[in-house]
Structure 1
Amino acid sequence: MKTIWHNLKEVLINTFDYLGLAWWVEIITQNPRCTYYFGPFLNSSEAKLSSTGYIEDLEVEGAQGIAVNVKRCKPNTLTIADDLGEKIDRKVQPAFGGQILS
């Protein structure tokens, strides 16, 4: 039953993302000056819950001045490195690899 729900949830998330209705975690760091987008999520609660892991990962990497926003959006680029004047398009990897939310 979890597999069916997981598959249905994935279809819903992809549909919401396509329509610009999915929830994303936007994290802006002051040092380095970057904007990161993590998602998509079906609802704001899941996005907020996941944001903790993303923040911890950035802190371990030495990021400072971290601001977090959870919002509905459809980012074109997942990482914007302002310090380098470049946009880095990367695939988002879950903070907790292999974890299946039920």
Structure 2
Amino acid sequence: MKTIWHNLKEVLINTFDYLGLAWWVEIVTQNPRCTYYFGPFLSCSDAKLSSTGYIEDLEVEGAQGIAVNVKRCKPNTLTIADDLGEKIDRKVQPAFGGQILS
């Protein structure tokens, strides 16, 4: 039964993401000057719950001035490094258990 729910949830997330209705965690850091998108998520609460792990990872990596926003959107690029003028695009996959697969 768990596998059926997992598969259904993945289909729902992909559909919501395609329509621009999925929830994403947007994290902007001042040092380094980057914007990160983590997701997609089916609900705002799922995204908020997962955001703590992303923040902890960025803090461990030394990021400073972290601002978090959970919103419905459809990002084209998942990592934007403003300091380097780069856009780093990771393959978008549904996040389960607070992790993005790359």
TM-score by length of 2: 0.90
Gap regions ≥5 residues in structure 2 = none
Query: Please, what is the CA RMSD of the aligned residues?
Result: 3.6
* Aligned-pair CA distance for 1:73: 0.0
Q: CA separation of 1:75/1:98 partners in 2, compared to 1, >3 Å: closer, same or farther?
A: closer
Aligned to 1:97: 97
Contact kept in structure 2, 1:53 and 1:95, CA below 8 Å: no
Q: Please show how residues 1-102 of structure 1 align to structure 2 within 5 Å.
A: 1-91=1-91
Q: 1:92 to 1:31 in 2, by over 3 A?
A: farther
Q: 1:25 to 1:14 in 2, by over 3 A?
A: same
Aligned to 1:27, the other structure's residue is in SS state strand
Partner SS state of residue 80, structure 2: strand
Does the Cα contact within 8 Å between 1:26 and 1:70 map onto a contact in 2? yes
| Most deviating of 88-97 and 21-30 | 88-97
Q: Does structure 1 conserve the Cα–Cα contact (< 8 Å) formed by 2:13 and 2:94?
A: no
Change in Cα spacing, 1:95 to 1:41, as seen in structure 2 (3 Å) is closer
Runs of 4 or more above 2 Å deviation? 91-102
Q: Give the drift of 1:38.
A: 0.1
Deviation for aligned residue 1:54 = 0.2
Q: CA 1:82–1:53 in 2, change beyond 3 Å: closer, same or farther?
A: same
- The Cα shift of 1:62 comes to 0.3
The farther-off stretch of 86-95 and 64-73 is: 86-95
Identity %: 96
Note the C-alpha offset of 1:91.
3.2
What TM-score do the two structures reach when normalised by structure 1?
0.90
Contact kept? 1:25, 1:71, Cα under 8 Å: yes
Deviations 1:6-64 (A, max 9, x none): 00000000000000000000000000000000000000000000000000000000000
